[in-house]
Amino acid sequence: AQTVTQSQPEMSVQEAETVTLSCTYDTSESNYYLFWYKQPPSRQMILVIRQEAYKQQNATENRFSVNFQKAAKSFSLKISDSQLGDTAMYFCALLRYNNNDMRFGAGTRLTVKP
Amino acid sequence: SAVISQKPSRDICQRGTSLTIQCQVDSQVTMMFWYRQQPGQSLTLIATANQGSEATYESGFVIDKFPISRPNLTFSTLTVSNMSPEDSSIYLCSGRLAGGSEQFFGPGTRLTVL
C-alpha cells in the first residue's frame, strides 16, 4: 500500500523567513516520483517541485528545495525568503513508476504573514 | 505542459438532479483523472477516464452515480447523478502527458447541492 503523511495541518511564517513542510511516505517500490503541489486559495493546483527516487541529489526550484531522505522515506519542502504569494495549501504526493494512481497527503495550510 | 479548463466553474443544484462537468485539455494527454476535494481537504480519486472505454473507478465510487465519458485525448465529462447534499464538493479534472509524471489540474468545479 502507498500512503503519504503530512503531519502539519497548518503552519505560518513571517515574510522573508524560511519554513519547512514535512512529508513522510510509505511504499514498497524502489522506483517512484515525489511531488509538492501548491493550491492557492480559490486557485488552480500547480506543481512546485518534483523528485525522482533514483536521484540522490535534492531537487531545487528557485526558492523551493527539498530534503529527500529515501531510507527514512521523508520528503520535506523548504521555502526560503517566503513571500505573501506563497500562502496556499501544499500537498505532498507519490507516484509509482508505471502506475496511474498519484497519492496525496492531507495537505499543510501555509500562511505567510507580512 | 498542459492547460486544463473546466465548465462550469460552480453550480448550485437541487437534490435529485444531475450535473455534467466538462474538462478540456489543450494537449493530448494519455491519462485523465477525476478527483473530489472538500474545501481545505485532500484530493480523493474518483476514477481514471479511459479513452474509448469504460472508466476505472476507485473503491466507493460507481459508474451509475458518476458516469464518465472520454471520447478523445483532450476531452472528458463527469456526471454527478441523482445528487444529494453529500455530493457538495469541488470536482477536479487532471491530466498527465505521455511519458510524463507531472499531473496538471483544472481549476475545479464547485458544486453545491441543496
The residue among A26, A21, A3 whose CA lies nearest residue A72 is A26
Cβ–Cβ under 8 Å, residues B18 and B80: yes
- Cα–Cα distance between B76 and B84 in angstroms, integer? 23
- Domain total in chain A: 1
- Cα–Cα distance between A78 and B99 in angstroms, integer? 28
CA atoms A54, A76, A27, B89: torsion sign: negative
Q: B4-8+23-102, what's its fold? A: Immunoglobulin-like (2.60.40)
| pLDDT value for A100 | 78
Per domain, the residue ranges of chain B are: 4-8+23-102
Cell of A57: 541529489
- Cα–Cα distance between B60 and B12 in angstroms, integer? 24
Find the mean pLDDT for residues A1-20: 95
Residue of A nearest to B96 (CA): A100
| pLDDT value for B99 | 80
Q: Which residues of B touch A35 (CB under 8 A)?
A: 101-102
pLDDT bucket at A94, cuts 50 / 70 / 90: very high
- Cα–Cα distance between B57 and A13 in angstroms, integer? 39
| Best of B101, B104, B105, B110 to mutate (most A CBs within 10 Å, chain A) | B101
CB contact under 8 A, A101 and B43: no
B34 pLDDT above the threshold of 90: yes
CB contact under 8 A, B42 and A47: no
| pLDDT value for A30 | 87
Taking the Cβ of residue A111 and every Cβ of chain B, the question of whether any pair is shorter than 8 Å is answered with: no
Query: Which position has the grid cell 505567510?
Result: A112
Quote the mean pLDDT of chain A.
Answer: 94
pLDDT bucket at A86, cuts 50 / 70 / 90: very high
| pLDDT value for B61 | 96
Q: Which residues of B touch A44 (CB under 8 A)?
A: 105-108
Which CATH number does the domain housing residue A67 bear? 2.60.40.10
| Contact residues for B70 (Cβ-Cβ < 8 A; gap 6+) | B32, B49, B50, B51, B52, B55, B76, B77
- Cα–Cα distance between B95 and B26 in angstroms, integer? 10
CB contact under 8 A, B42 and A100: no
| pLDDT value for B107 | 95
| pLDDT value for A43 | 82
Select the more confidently predicted residue: B1 or B10. B10
pLDDT bucket at B52, cuts 50 / 70 / 90: confident
A50 pLDDT above the threshold of 80: yes
Select the more confidently predicted residue: A58 or A101. A58
pLDDT bucket at A97, cuts 50 / 70 / 90: confident
Query: Residue A83: which domain range?
Result: 3-113
| Contact residues for B111 (Cβ-Cβ < 8 A; gap 6+) | B10, B11, B13, B19, B80, B83, B87, B88, B89, B90, B91
